[in-house]
Structure 1
Amino acid sequence: MYGTGARYLDSLSNTSFFIKLLAAFLIAGFFIEFVHRVTVQLDKSYDWKEKPLVRLLLQFALGMLLPGIIDLFFLSIYQWYFGINTMYKDPSAQSSFPVMALPVFLFNVYYLFYYHILRNKQDKEQTPSSNEILLVQQGTKTIPIFLTDIRFIYHQNRMNYLVTCEESKFYLNETLDELERNLPHRDFFRVNRKMIIHYRACLNFKSNGHGKLILNLEPPFAGEVTVSQNRSTQFKEWIKR
């Protein structure tokens, strides 16, 4: 209705008003979801802190420019279908495109601030320090192990084990899911369902030709250690630190 000169209260008695309102909500919902999906995918490959310039360009191109073009297309169809004419002597002053494009910009700003709030919270919770330890069991004794001494944690025969840099092995009560949540993500990575490794444990890795990665660990692990195909890209970014 913006730019048409219509009276809002008078329009409430018109059935077509609610049809137009529903169409506007569907378009708005589409753009909220579109910007959200673009942002989530970019978060996976182009972190704001690691690649700020590339991320800024891609966010602008895919999160603002592309939705703006699609927005203009939707707006043209919308106005044609409902017979809305907003073209006056000064089209730029009456066009409703800036009003429709503004939410696309605001969605991007919202996700940017939301990302940084979550990232700062995560960094505070997971900032590693030299005196962080993990408690392990050995018989009736409870032993504190420095996180920097851990090389990998694995699941075998319904048991979870921890191996240190000195090749000492300990039993763990926690599940791998619990450990993955509590260990600092900067230093530890869940390579597959049955293993979490410290970055110092990885001597080298290679592709098996099918998208997976095969790791060579130190201390040596009895068995093949692989990174699944859907985690391989994330692993390569993580191991660069």
Structure 2
Amino acid sequence: METISYHNRSFRILAAFGATMFILFYGRTFDLHHALSKPLFWYAFIVSFCVALLIVKIIHEMTVYLDGRFDWRKNFWQRITYQVFLGIFIPALIDVIVFTAYFLVLRKNIVHTGFLSSDLLRVVFLLALLNAYYYIHYRLLTRKHVHEQTSNHSNSDILNIDHNGLHLHLHVKTDVLLIYRDVRVTKVRTVNGNEYTTNHSLAQLNRQYKKQGICQINQSFLVNLYMLKGYINVEKRDSYSPIIKPAYRAAFPESLSHEFVVTRKYSDDFRERLADI
């Protein structure tokens, strides 16, 4: 999976500075001239700014790391889980640890400073905003790439699959037996009996791989016509049961046999296209 280059070092420095000023002055009278004359302000500013830079750097590195492993579009729930843990929880924990040490140096108990009840909540809010920025930035940076990839593969024989860490390139005409919708998940069944999930819809796959023999037979099934020997009539009028070639029957799950039917709506297109194979 491609690693994204954000080129946002200046933004990260400004974000750290802005977050520092927000935390230091939120809920207090904004008197910068008075604050600059106080040594305690400078101690707090230097520590807060350094911690902010560290946290922003951690979030940046973790985001780049996750970009290379969990695509936001293809693995959204996995990605958001890791992003919240590595991009919000861990940085917030680091912030608490550093400021606990800071207040100990000042001979103060962090519990009695109000940090945990007020400042920490604002820190978490700012962390969430920064992670949201990276999500939006990712979508914008990859939008053109996704569009080009879709265009380049519109007439391709290759179906790219990202499944549980596996990155596969299936030749539709020779590798794919059928594609079906299982509740809300689209599944691809290969001629070897393996099954993978994809984020593509049946309608999209039907359009994209029509020239490679993919044909819709009902609302839930696409079949590779090159894997069929023919079809037989069933009791219901204008409905048919596809006959899979003997070499591929072992890969067909019997649990799907009662749904593997060409319904009336798709029967004419199915018969015409099968006759041309």
* TM category, shorter: 0.3 to 0.5
Q: TM-score, normalised by structure 2?
A: 0.42
Q: TM-score, normalised by structure 1?
A: 0.47
Structure with max Cα Rg: 2
